[in-house]
Structure 1
Amino acid sequence: MTPSTTPDAMTLSVFCILLFAALLHASWNAIVKAGNDKLYAAIGVSGSAAVMALILLPFSPQPAHASIPFLAASTALQVVYTVLVAKTYQVSDMSQTYPLMRGTAPLLVALISVLFLGDSLSSMAWVGIGVICMAILGMACNGRASSQRGVVLALTNACFIAGYTLVDGTGVRLSETALGYTLWSFFLNGACLLTWAMIARRREASRYLAQQWKKGIFGGIGTMGSYGLALWAMTQAPLAVVAALRETSILFGALIAWLLLKEKVAGLRLVAAGGIALGAILLRLS
């Protein structure tokens, strides 16, 4: 039997890099939230990531043909996801909806795996599910009436996150190259959104992107860097620990919304965000 080349523990340097990756993910969401037009801000982030992916694609192995249908399905789901991120931040606070989107998705993936894929969950996983459910209720009940629409949009978007997560789980295995599959995913998502913007709203989109291109590039680096660093960390530390630590982005998101976006974050919302992060970590570690 060939011994595993992945270490059984995580070094301090890998730990810090993963925390930075989690911060990057929360940061690009903050860029979208802070944008004057949330949709164009999201398109700017996705478009910048697409350009970076296009530059890197010639130097990457290409995914196997068997993964192409999954790549196409994932692209469709991620386009909707990106639009819903913008729509959600138009009507609700990031400190409320970012934890819901990030934390509910692993819950849905776990439940779908049990109900339809025949997987079984450990006691720790069920505890994680319970914690997330209670935290979601606390988050949903905390806020203005207008923010309840944001809760609905965030939970809807979590379904799309779970959807492309499950699709990519199969697609990346069939692709035989995680790097090539990921780069194509970033490129296709951004290319689709940019194409739509240039066809449907050329003047408004061009003006916004020309004015805010620096933020778009920073956001593109954030979204690609976050995922790229996580992929690298998976070669340096146990997969479950890496996946769990990525969920700290929920806490970074709440803190960024509070400290930088100046959102009013009540105690219950912070507790709920912490509960969602804890539940997601328990799920990942189970």
Structure 2
Amino acid sequence: MSWAVFLAALVSAALNAGWNVLAKRQQVPSEAVLGTLLVTASVFLVAVPFIGLPASAAWPWLAAAAVCNVAYSRALMAAYDRAPLSMTYSVVRAIIPPMLFVLGTLFFGESATTLRLLGMALVVISLVLFGWPGRGQSAGHMSGFMLAGLAGLVVSVAYACDIKGARVAGGHVLAIVQYGAASSLLSTAGLLAVSLFEKRAPVAILRRNWRPCTIGAALLMASYFLALWAYTRGPVGLVAPVRETSILFGGLLAFVVLRERIRPRQWVAIGLAVLGAMIVKIQ
């Protein structure tokens, strides 16, 4: 893996943690997540006439990813309303590396070397260690934990579809931007339909949260494009563990911004994540 791909995945991780922390600190985190996605889609809706749409070969993958993204976003919104960020965020991210490692081996023809397995395993262990609920967790926290696990499984499949779609679309920068715009519009349209069915008021949500949602949308777009670029340039099984070291940033931001306590085992987890990422880079 080149340094450019490694750094792109790492910066994407930091930005991804940033917009999630921003959403979690709002009074109703699920509304902030929905508002952030709506602002992102609005930007892409304006941009599409100028940047165009991805190649037709990418659309089946776009549609599959959109269905997964709607389910992921809804599960994430519910998890954020029920449990601390340090738990939910790390559970979601813990599931992605092994899932993409397997999918990369099965569908992208990547080899499973010992160092790759070791680096990925250390990152996954660190994420599970960081987010595992402690004693005395409420029923709400446990339901949030389960919802976060579901979100992680679904978004892993969405990532695999996005990676395949972006590569089929051409893999160059414009193709990635076109794919990302179309993916955001399809996913948000589906999520908007679900939200209206649940009698949410999207316009009112944006009015209440317009400032954090605008900042969050900027972070989300930058994170998504950097991740997609890294996945089209590097092996899926290697990029995933680096990108999911967002626990480093999510955990520290939860401590600094949300005042969530970091336990000793969570500091150990952060150290393991760093070690795992370094092993992946060496590989």
Question: Shorter-normalised TM-score: what interval?
Answer: 0.7 to 0.9
CA distance in 2, matches of 1:117, 1:188: 25
CA distance in 2, matches of 1:57, 1:233: 23
Match of 1:69 among 47, 60, 63: 60
Match of 1:26 among 2, 11, 17: 17
**How far off is 1:51 after superposition?**
0.7
Q: Does 1:201 align with 2:199?
A: yes
What SS does the aligned partner of 2:81 have?
helix
Superimposed CA distance per residue, residues 59-101 of structure 1 (whole angstroms, 9 cap, x where no aligned partner) = 2242122221111110010111111221222222212221232
What are structure 1's unaligned runs of at least 5 residues?
1-6
Larger displacement relative to structure 2 (186-195 or 159-168): 186-195
Contact 2:123/2:245 (<8 A) preserved: no
Alignment: residue pair count: 274
Partner residue in 1 for 2:190: 192
What are structure 2's unaligned runs of at least 5 residues?
none
Partner residue in 2 for 1:92: 83
**How far off is 1:179 after superposition?**
1.8
Contact 1:142/1:269 (<8 A) preserved: no
Q: Does 1:122 align with 2:116?
A: no
Larger displacement relative to structure 2 (140-149 or 157-166): 140-149
CA distance in 1, matches of 2:128, 2:246: 20
**RMSD of the alignment, in Å?**
3.2
- Equivalent residue runs for 1:74-223 within 5 Å: 74-114=65-105, 119-139=110-130, 140=132, 142=134, 144-146=136-138, 147-176=141-170, 177-203=175-201, 205-223=202-220
CA distance in 2, matches of 1:187, 1:234: 21
- The 1:101–1:180 alpha-carbon spacing in structure 2 relative to 1, beyond 3 Å, is same
Superimposed CA distance per residue, residues 28-61 of structure 1 (whole angstroms, 9 cap, x where no aligned partner) = 1012212222222111010011011112212224
Contact 1:23/1:252 (<8 A) preserved: yes
Contact 1:125/1:283 (<8 A) preserved: yes
- Which amino acid in structure 1 is aligned with residue 252 of structure 2? L
What percentage of residue pairs aligned between the two structures are identical?
Answer: 29
**How far off is 1:166 after superposition?**
1.2
- The 1:184–1:138 alpha-carbon spacing in structure 2 relative to 1, beyond 3 Å, is same
